[in-house]
Structures are given as C-alpha cells and as structure tokens.
Structure 1
Amino acid sequence: MPHLDFTQPPFDVLSAAERQSIKKNTQVRYLAKDEILPADDLQYFYVVLKGHVEQLLDGTFVTSYLGNDHTAHLNSNDWFDSRRLPKPMPEDGLQESNLQKNIDKSELITPYQFRAVEDTLLLQVNGTTIDKLSAQNHFVRQLLSENLPERLKALQLRRSGQHLDAASSASDDPQEVQQIMLQPVIDITLLPVHIVDADNSLYQAARTMTEAGLKHVLVRPTDHWQDANSSDRTLGILTDNDICRAVSDQQNPATTPCQNYASFNLRTIDADDEIGDALLTMTRYRIHRLPMIDTHGKVIGVLGQSDMLAHIGHHSQLISIEIEQATDLPSLATAVELIGRYIRAQHQNGIKMGNVSRMVQTLNAQVFTKLWQLIVPDDVMENTCVIVMGSEGRGEQIMRTDQDNALIIRDGYDHPELAKFTDTFNQHLADLGYPLCDGNIMMNNPMWRQPLKAFKAQIGTWFKNTEPMHSIYLSAIFDGEYVCGDESLLIQVREHLKTAHRQSDLMFVRQFARAALQFGDINQWWQKLVPLLGGKPSAYTIDLKKSGIFPLVHGIRTLALEHDIFSDPSSKGRLKALVQTHALTQERADTLLEALEFFMAQRLSVALSTDNKYAKEVDPTTLSALERDLLKECLAVVKSFKAQLSRHYQLEIG
C-alpha cells in the first residue's frame, strides 16, 4: 500500500476512511528516461514522487509535472489525471450541425502523451477510486474539476480555511515516502569496503568474503594504479554467485583470477545523492549493491539493497517492490524480514491494530503469491487457487505463526508434480519463518489439496458429522481468503458453504457455537486481577487467545454462519454485515471489534518484547494501570458476549 502525503492537495481534504480507500488502490510506477506512458495506462491519476514528466499533445509540449526533488518545498509533488482529454472546439467557432452532434467526439480527440524527461517514480492511483472520492467529497470534486470556476471556488474555500475540517487529522500520519526519498544515502548504514586485485584467485576472494562476513568483494583492475587520477568508479565487483558460477564451469578456484568472473563498469552512487536516486538505479538496472563514492572519487562503502530497504522498510509500498522483484528464496526472505520491521514501526507509531493487521495480510499474500509463482508453471497457476485460512485469512494475523493454507484445483485438471509443488511451498514458507501447522491444515495434506468437486463433497460431510475436528475444519474453510490463481474456485466453495449450511441439521449452528464457550471460566477472570489492586504481585497470566481472541472470533463467525454471511471472512467484515442484517447493533459491533483489536495489540506487544513468537499470554503485573484497566474492560466485553451467545443458542456456559 503506497503512502500519499495527506498534508498536500488534493489529498488533504480526505477523511480517515477516504484516505484508507485511496491507499488500497495506489501503487508505485517507474518510468525510465524518455519512456512514454502507454495507452493502456492513461486511466490513472498520477502523483510525481520523484523526477520530471512532460505532457505533450501531438508531439507539442503542453506542460511539465515535477517531483519534490525539483521543487523548492518538501512534499510539493505535482499530480495529473491522465484520463483528461483536450477539450474539442467546434470548427471555426460555428454552431455544430445535427450530424456533428451525433458523432462521438472522444473518438476524434487525440489524447495527451506523458513522457519521462528523466528516470521518474510515480504514485499511480486507480481512476475509479478518484471518481468515487470525487462523488462523495465535494472538496475533492472541486479540486479535480475540469471546470475552472469550480477549481477557483475550491481555492477560495482553502484560503478561508473551510476545507480544514475534512483534514483535521491528516497531519497525524507517519512520515511519508516522499520525505524518505529525499534523505541522503549517507544516512544509511553502509557495508564495509574490501578490495582484491583482479589477478587474485577466486579462492583468495572467497576467503576475504568469509572473513568479512560479506557476499561480495570489490575488484581492483590491473591498470588501476597506473593512472594517478584513477577513480574508484573503475572498480569491479565479485559476488558469491560469481564464484558459484565458476565452480559450475569446473574452474579451479585456486588458479582462476577474479577478473575472469568479476563485473566491471559498475553503477555507483555519490555520497550526497538521495535515497530516491539509489532506489531508481537499483530498480532500473536490477542490481543489489551500489559502491558509494566521495568527492575525491574514492569508495567509502557499499550500499546494499537490503540495508536501504531496511532503512525505509516501514513503508509498505517499498516492501511490495522488494517482494515483486524477488527472484529466489533468499531475496524473498529479505522482504519477509522487512514486514517484521514494518510491524514493529507501525506498532511503535501507535497505528490502529486493525489497519496494521490488514496491511500485513496484504503483504503476506504478496509473499505467498510470489513464492507460488517461483515454484509452479503457468498452467498450474491458471488451474488452481491458493487460499489462506484462520487468522491469516481473516486478516487478523500479526506475527508469523502456524501456516493454514489450501489448494483448490479445477475439476478435470491434473499435474504429475502437484504434490511435490505443495510440499515445496509449505517447506519454503517454513524456511521463511512461517511455521508448519501442527494440525497439518496445509496444502501438502491431500485433504487440503483437492479438486473443486471433491472439496464440495468434503464440506457436505463436515456439516453432517458432529466430530469436533469437523467443526475445526469448517472454521478454517469459513475463514478462507484468496491469495492467487483462479479466484472463481474460492467463490464457488463459498457458495457451496452457503448451500451446505442451508441443507444441514437445524441444530448444527447451536453445536458449532459451543466452541466459543469452552475456554476458561469467565467468572474467574477478575480474580486474577484483584491482587494487583492491592499492590501485590500476581501469580497468574492471562491467555489472550483463549480468554479473549478466540471467543470473540468464533462467536462472530457463528453468528455470520447463522445469517448466511460468507463473502468477507474478516471479523470486521462479518460485524458490518451482522449490523446490516440487524443481528447486532452498531454500538455492539464496534465494541466487539475494539476489544478484539486490543487483544491483538497486546499479543503483538508481548511478541515484540519477548522471544515468544506465539505470544498467547500476558502477565498483568507487566502492564501499566491504564492497560490493566483496558484489559479488564475488554475481558468484561468477552464475558458479556459469551453470555449473549449462551442465551441466543440456549447453551450452558462451561
């Protein structure tokens, strides 16, 4: 999700909900020098993040749009709507004939062209999203209107301060991508410089790498010292991949000189260049290291892509770029580590937990998609659907806990290596830090890797049987969310869930609801906090998952099942739908969601402050007075909700 500067027009008039909407529909776009936006991309709204774009009409210059690296003030990025067409003028200023009125003028109008004068980064916003915002926010509509009087009116409103109410909280957003892009690269921690001579052996280079803990060394050309004015820009680089290539070529590392496998004519960066320049260079030339040169032409360090992205890693769009550019498991692992840094930064900045978890869900889905793409051929991608389940499917997962995934296969399709692909997928996810599921709810299990028809039959069986595991399996598939492949397969599974539920025993939902009441004695939770009130240390910890998260999640899931709500697996989406069906009041739904997100935030705090990756329990003595008070209130919400479920389904609270 890219970050726009919400202190600048036209985005400074957006409400919090509108800002969230536009973030979901924005991505970074790179244009190389002299590249022209293709016709298919003239359907977006663009913000120039860095660089320079010219607008042309029939090859004639119209105007320029600049990023803040060309402007006098920070965050004064230009923007343009590429969909806007030149206004047609009646020939000779005469009134149009009836024949002319029946002609579609848009077919006769040549659209504008947009050319990058230099390497440029753009924020590309979905045009439909802009239209929706314009329809619901009159300030946006006026600012983006093609009608000059409307825009002048918007300017008058801005000068009078009438637009500020719509943007009163815009300045509370964390530092945006634009500001990071203008920071000097020298602010980033550099890799140390280790140089070997071109005629040194590969063995000597490998030993230097090992001792330095690096995956590369710089290589000094043979004639480097012959020129007194020689610059370190002429150095080459040798990486561990180059040495592996030499070994695969059956070369003797002890006798093969470095110059045979080193790369010269390196791309470099100056110490006073900006982070945006480094990102552009790495993106354009698909490189991961940039030697940094000082004013005397000497290398002072090497800028690594992972270190640069770690520096700016709390910006989700840049993590998305890293995921998209990943070509193997190690490069994908770098992106996964950045997700962890993003989570920590967002939590420290006080960002609402629901927003963080949904962004993490999006980033994780991109990781899973990229990994599946790296493993399977195109025909497998086209004929299968990868889904995630459980908290990952609901968008309520923060830490990297157990995998829950499945593969739906198109009926009639088969591939002899499908089982191998799924084993590789699950194992690689484990290597990336997503642990294997103890309950084996993963696609390498044949039960969770089936054709659509078989999945439907299995779901029908689960609804007819009262075994506890079947309720667990149904809970998992209820929470299923699309990752990649053919989404229509998941849609058909959801439709079958609705059908199978309607055909099930009327008492099924009642039995299904029991799980929400099975953990903990809800009448005892306050006693665990009583010692704190007297200043005595508590000998108890509270299981946040059993006492708080699970009863809320499963209770909401059960109510959604009862009311045929299958389209959105998230607790937030289910609560919204339950309000629409009048199953819950808006106030009740808001309270349940706030309590759920509080428990999630507490789990994250425990995970970030300890080595406990599961972070299920919290010791109340470690909390502040305010946190303990909030914990008490949220546990009271759980108690009330479980009592509500018990009455509704006529169950005994255990």
Structure 2
Amino acid sequence: MPHLDFTQPPFDVLSLAERQSIRKNTKIRYLARDEILPAADLQYLYVVIKGQIEQSLGGEFVASYLSSNHSDEPNNNDWFDSRRLPESLIKIGVPESEDTPIQPYQFRASEETLLLQVDGATVDKISAQNHLVRQMLSDKLPERLKALRQRRSNKTLDPAGYTHQQEVQQIMLQPVIDVHLLPVHIVDANNSLYEAARIMTKAGLKHVLVRPLNYVENIRDTEQPKLLLGILTDTDICRAVSDRQDPAITLCQRYANFNLRTIKATDEIGDALLTMTRYRIHRLPVIDSSGDVVGVLGQSDMLAHIGHHSQLISIQIEQATDLPSLDTAVELIGRYIRAQHQNGVKIGNISRMVQTLNAQVFTKLWQLIVPDEVISNTCLIVMGSEGRGEQIMRTDQDNALIIRDGYTHPDLAQFADTFNNHLATLGYPLCDGNIMMTNPMWRQPLKQFTAQIGSWFKNTDPMHGIYLSAIMDGEYVCGDETLLTQVRQHLRMAHRQADPMFVRQFARAALQFGDVNQWWQKFVPLIGGKSISADIDLKKAGIFPLVHGIRTLALENNILDVPSTKERLKALVKAHVLNQERADTLLEALEFFMAQRLSVALSTEDKQARQVDPTTLTALERDLLKECLAVVKSFKNQLRQHYQLEIA
C-alpha cells in the first residue's frame, strides 16, 4: 500500500508523534480518468502518488499536480490543499467594498490517478503546533515563500535545529531599534572642541551630536527640527589639531558635519546597512516617531549584530587603484550573492545591496577613467533592472551620461567607450540593444536629452516605449545628481502634455507575451507520449509583466521620482491605486521569480537564467511557481480591465 514519504515537504518537518497522527488519518483515494473531486471531498490535503490532477476555476485551467513519475526527481510528488480558496484570483482585483462570492476550485483527474487523502482537521491541528508546516501550507503567499527561503538555507531539515536558520533569514528584516544603540550626547555648536572631547572621553564614545547655532529659531521653520543636528567625531578633532587649531577656543560649529544622515527606529537593519554602505558613513542617529533622537547606530555594533561582510567589499572597491584590483572586488560581490542566497536572505535585500555595491564599482571605474571636471559636469546613471535595484546576476549593461548644457570635452566619446568595454571585461556584458553611453543617443547634453524624451511621448514607435521604460528606471551613480533630477522633472511635464491615450498604449507591453495558462501548460506532459518543452521563461511569464505593469501604473499616477518596483508599489498604495495586501503579493511574486532566476544562474552555466524547467523543481517550488504565475495572471487581467485592452 502506498504511504506518505516523510522525507518530502511538507511532511519532512514533522515530529514522530505528528507522523503517527498523519498515518492514522490518511487513506487511499482513486479517481478514474476525467473524474472530478466532489464538493464534499474538498476538505482534505491530497498527495498525488500516481497520475495527474488538473485544477480549474470557473472552467478555466489553473494548474496541474503530478506524481513523481512525471518529474525528473524521484519521490517528488505534488500535493494540494483542496480547502484553499482562490483569493488571489478573485477578491484581490475587486474593490474591498464589493461582496463578491468566492468560487471553489475544481479538481479533475486527467488520467487514472491515485491520491493520498489526509484529513484536513488533523493537518490543522498539527499546523497549530508546528509553525514550519503552517508556513508551507499557508494560504498567504509571503508565508509560503518564507518557508522556501528557509529550506534553501538548509537542505536537510530538522525541526529542532530550525531556530538558528530562522534567525539568519529574518535578521535583515529586524527593526533598527533591535540593535544595541550608542547613547545620545549633544553639545552646542558654540561649545569648544575641548569640551566636546571631554564629553566623548567620559562617555567612552568617538562622537557627539551637535546642536547648531540659532537652533531655537530654526525649530520654528521646520517640521523636523531634530534633523538639524550635526555630528562631531574624534576624526574631526584630530583634523582640527592638524590644522593647528587650539581646541580650547575653537568652536564645534567649525568642524561638525551638519549634512547628517538619519534612520527611523522602525526601519529595517538592511536599510541601515544599505545607507551606511551607499554614503560611506559609520554612524546613523536613530529617530523615533516623534522626531527625537533615541540613539546612534554604530557600524561596528550593527556588523557585530548581523555578521555581515558587504562593508568589506565596499572598502575593497574604494581602495581599488586599477582594473585588476576592481575585478577582485567584483568577484567578491558574486561570492556575497551566493552566500546570502544560500543563507535564505530575501532576494529583495540581496538585490538592493548588490545595486549599491555595483554602483560603487561603476563610480570607481568612472573615476579611474575620467578627470574630475568631467565628473562634476556630467551625471552617470544606470537603467533597467540595475536602476530598479532588481539585478542580481551581471547581465547586460544599461547606462547613460547626461551632460551639463554648455559643457564639452573632446574625449567624452572615448571615455564612454573605455567605460563600457572595461565593464564588459569585469563581467557586465554589453547591451544587445545598445542602450549604453557609447551610443550618442544615451550620451547627450541635458537639453537634447529632455527634447528626446518629449518625442517619445508623441510617437507610437515600439522602441520609444522601450526607451521611455529605460529612462523611467534611471538611477544616479555619480556626478551631478541634479541633472537626473531635471530629467525626471521633464518626464513629469512631458507626460502631462502627452495624449491621454499614451499610457494605455504603454500598458500593452505588459500583456504581449500571452496568458499564464499558455506558459504553465508547457509543463503538462502529453498523455501516453513524450512531454513537450517544459521550460518556462521566468522573465516573459513573470518578471516583465509585473515590472512593466507596475511601471505603467506609476506613470499614469505621476510617480516618477522612484525607479524601483518596491518603491513604486509603496507610492501606489499611498495614492490608493492598490491596497497594501495586493502590493505585498505582487512584490513577493516578483521576488520569487528573481530568486528562481538566481538559483538557475548559480546551479547551471546559463548566466542569463531566464528558463526554468518545472520538472526539476521540488514540489514546494512548483506549488509556489503555480501560485506566483496565478498572481501574474490576475494582475494582467486587472491591467486589461483598467486600460480596456483586449490582448489575449
């Protein structure tokens, strides 16, 4: 008699007593070909041990569940919870005020099928006590994706040994306030450096915060007075001494830094690390909800808390003096990506840190190539997935150079050529579409650049939509950032002046690759014969529809200051275009597809990593892939209805 395989999820995290309970409440269920599970039997968890089940909703195909004889992996049978309701397909695209009835899924055997039928009440009882099972069987996509990340970090699972892995996976999501903070000591700007040094010595600190002159008057003119504080460090005092200043009479005002970066107490540790790495700073004052400084986050304390090494890579990049030393730093980024992915860190956290490290690589390379005057009169930007902070692997370059009006240099073209080719040498391939600064179209003075953008809104050439998408995703790397700010301001103005139907045409690209059904049905083997191509293009079927659909909604709602999909979703929620649950689900689905691409890239020679064969995935990964493809389908339907598009 067939039995449950307790080495496979979701049963491999059960205790001995839980396994015995499952065995007692499991029985065999046979379905003839084309037989449908009756409504009365939609109260069980099923495991497919022979044959194939097709899932549908309202007569429309949703997914297939297969036994291991249909998979490349032995003992890798799919399971499904027949009680799960299709909220992601039905209610998520409907205003909350509408009381729309939820239809149940329908399950049909597409060939003679044997199922193991597990009592739903028994599963619920175990889930209430075993959070690992509860995560894997949750009807919330973020919880199931969390379970997958945990499994990737530890292939051989033991419930008793799971605690450490969970800490590793969640640590970047912890609030800053969880880290040991340095105490707050504030001096007035007209205090002497000697007085500041005395306070620092007594407190055992290497810094004090500085209250500027006319602080009381400044409070009346700002909603966030605490952000007016500056910081004075022991390095600043050493600098004063080297300048032959008398610490007893020299004021703190002269050497304090008032361009102070801060972070909210509720922000994630990953955000703090990103800020420190991006701006090359070692201390961040932490602000509470009232605007008060509740402590100072020190770099050493944070690194001790998380055991993180990205800062070491940043130092390596900063100290690079030539291409070979920069190449070493780039290789370290690759190792960092692999280690973080294996530890189960969320792909969004990895990608945003990689974006920051890549930006430092690009900045250092540009500094090694061009004189300072070029840097101060131009703005180097990256675009596409690199600009959005959603790039993990080193794929095609997308970059541009915005030049200050009136500035010229005879070697700009040569500088651009050297930069792009050196990046290719470092492992960042040249762009097939030539969206790089070697192309004069992407290396222009500000006036010509903005005029070009204006023309893209007036033409139906498909390439113009691609160009517009690229510049919308533009992110600052180095140089004069105000040039990019002016480009974004012109984007907003050009959009206001464009034909109202433009955004509708812009949205069509998100729908051009066909329905999810067509992609998932490639996975369904032909009965009695060889299977057709099982590969699914993760970019076309998942990533691009989500990214471009969200980009389109952002364009429609004049959200043009942020290039990342995550920040666009936040802004769309704030503008009441999407609710928070919908936005979270879309982001989780996007990051799942990104994580799958990374897994393919790390385990194969395919560095583009677009194609995934579902038969090579675990049952848990297949289940999540189906769910995320269903999220894409519902989002495309939402776009189709919103923009009144009739693309199949």
TM-score by length of 1: 0.57
Is the aligned partner of 1:82 residue 2:215?
A: no
Equivalent in the alignment of 1:136 = 288
The aligned length equals: 411
SS of match in other structure, 2:262: helix
Equivalent in the alignment of 1:599 = 593
- Tell me the alpha carbon deviations over residues 335-381 of structure 1, each in whole angstroms, 9 at most, x when there is no partner: 00000000000000100110100000000000000000000001100
**One-letter code aligned to 1:417:** D
1:399 to 393, 410, 422: 393
Q: Following TM superposition, by how much is the alpha carbon of 1:565 offset from its aligned partner in structure 2, in angstroms?
A: 0.5
Is the aligned partner of 1:467 residue 2:600?
A: no
Q: For 1:318-337, what aligned pairs fall within 5 Å after superposition?
A: 318-337=312-331
Equivalent in the alignment of 1:420 = 414
1:429 to 418, 423, 428: 423
Hey, what's the Cα distance between the residues in 2 that align with 1:59 and 1:583?
52
Hey, what's the Cα distance between the residues in 1 that align with 2:315 and 2:641?
50
- Tell me the alpha carbon deviations over residues 174-233 of structure 1, each in whole angstroms, 9 at most, x when there is no partner: x9854999xxxxxxxxxxxxxxxxxxxxxxxxxxxxxxxxxxxxxxxxxxxxxxxxxxxx
SS of match in other structure, 2:498: coil
Q: Following TM superposition, by how much is the alpha carbon of 1:505 offset from its aligned partner in structure 2, in angstroms?
A: 1.0
Equivalent in the alignment of 2:534 = 540
1:375 to 355, 358, 369: 369
Q: Following TM superposition, by how much is the alpha carbon of 1:527 offset from its aligned partner in structure 2, in angstroms?
A: 2.3
Is the aligned partner of 1:490 residue 2:484?
A: yes
Equivalent in the alignment of 2:176 = 19
SS of match in other structure, 1:83: strand
**One-letter code aligned to 1:599:** F
Hey, what's the Cα distance between the residues in 2 that align with 1:438 and 1:567?
27
- Tell me the alpha carbon deviations over residues 436-461 of structure 1, each in whole angstroms, 9 at most, x when there is no partner: 00000000100000000000111111
Is the aligned partner of 1:445 residue 2:571?
A: no
Q: Following TM superposition, by how much is the alpha carbon of 1:22 offset from its aligned partner in structure 2, in angstroms?
A: 9.3
SS of match in other structure, 1:82: strand
> Do the aligned partners of residues 62 and 361 (structure 1) sit closer, same or farther apart at CA in structure 2, a change above 3 Å counting?
closer
2:579 to 578, 585, 609: 585
SS of match in other structure, 1:386: strand
Q: Following TM superposition, by how much is the alpha carbon of 1:521 offset from its aligned partner in structure 2, in angstroms?
A: 3.3
Is the aligned partner of 1:575 residue 2:569?
A: yes
1:552 to 538, 543, 546: 546
Contact 2:288 2:294 in 1 (8 A): no
Equivalent in the alignment of 2:606 = 612
**One-letter code aligned to 2:457:** F
> Do the aligned partners of residues 505 and 626 (structure 1) sit closer, same or farther apart at CA in structure 2, a change above 3 Å counting?
same
Two-structure CA RMSD over aligned residues (Å): 3.8
Q: For 1:513-532, what aligned pairs fall within 5 Å after superposition?
A: 513-531=507-525
Contact 1:57 1:113 in 2 (8 A): no
- Tell me the alpha carbon deviations over residues 283-341 of structure 1, each in whole angstroms, 9 at most, x when there is no partner: xxxxxxxxxxxxxxxxxxxxxxxxxxxxxxx7110000000000000000000000000
TM-score by length of 2: 0.58
Q: For 1:50-89, what aligned pairs fall within 5 Å after superposition?
A: 57=195, 63=201, 81-83=207-209
> Do the aligned partners of residues 320 and 529 (structure 1) sit closer, same or farther apart at CA in structure 2, a change above 3 Å counting?
same
Contact 2:200 2:208 in 1 (8 A): no
Hey, what's the Cα distance between the residues in 1 that align with 2:264 and 2:574?
26
Higher Rg of the two aligned structures: 1
Q: Following TM superposition, by how much is the alpha carbon of 1:653 offset from its aligned partner in structure 2, in angstroms?
A: 2.6
Q: Following TM superposition, by how much is the alpha carbon of 1:606 offset from its aligned partner in structure 2, in angstroms?
A: 0.3
Q: Following TM superposition, by how much is the alpha carbon of 1:136 offset from its aligned partner in structure 2, in angstroms?
A: 1.9
**One-letter code aligned to 1:496:** H
Identity %: 70
Hey, what's the Cα distance between the residues in 1 that align with 2:486 and 2:291?
41
Hey, what's the Cα distance between the residues in 2 that align with 1:345 and 1:137?
35
**One-letter code aligned to 1:82:** V
Hey, what's the Cα distance between the residues in 2 that align with 1:623 and 1:391?
25
Equivalent in the alignment of 1:91 = none
Hey, what's the Cα distance between the residues in 2 that align with 1:473 and 1:651?
22
Q: Following TM superposition, by how much is the alpha carbon of 1:525 offset from its aligned partner in structure 2, in angstroms?
A: 3.2
Equivalent in the alignment of 1:260 = none
Is the aligned partner of 1:562 residue 2:574?
A: no
**Which structure would you say has the larger RCO, counting Cα contacts within 8 Å and 6 or more residues apart?**
2
Q: For 1:167-316, what aligned pairs fall within 5 Å after superposition?
A: 177-178=303-304, 315-316=309-310
Hey, what's the Cα distance between the residues in 1 that align with 2:177 and 2:376?
31
Q: Which moved more, 1:55-64 or 1:616-625?
A: 55-64
Hey, what's the Cα distance between the residues in 1 that align with 2:472 and 2:199?
55
Hey, what's the Cα distance between the residues in 2 that align with 1:635 and 1:418?
45
Q: Following TM superposition, by how much is the alpha carbon of 1:57 offset from its aligned partner in structure 2, in angstroms?
A: 5.0
Hey, what's the Cα distance between the residues in 2 that align with 1:535 and 1:628?
22
Hey, what's the Cα distance between the residues in 1 that align with 2:323 and 2:467?
30
Equivalent in the alignment of 1:624 = 618
Equivalent in the alignment of 1:640 = 634
Q: Following TM superposition, by how much is the alpha carbon of 1:553 offset from its aligned partner in structure 2, in angstroms?
A: 0.3
> Do the aligned partners of residues 323 and 595 (structure 1) sit closer, same or farther apart at CA in structure 2, a change above 3 Å counting?
same
Contact 2:207 2:233 in 1 (8 A): no
- Tell me the alpha carbon deviations over residues 461-508 of structure 1, each in whole angstroms, 9 at most, x when there is no partner: 111110111110111011000000000000000010111111111111
Contact 1:385 1:407 in 2 (8 A): yes
- Tell me the alpha carbon deviations over residues 408-447 of structure 1, each in whole angstroms, 9 at most, x when there is no partner: 0000000000000000000000000000000000001000
Is the aligned partner of 1:650 residue 2:644?
A: yes
Contact 2:351 2:391 in 1 (8 A): yes
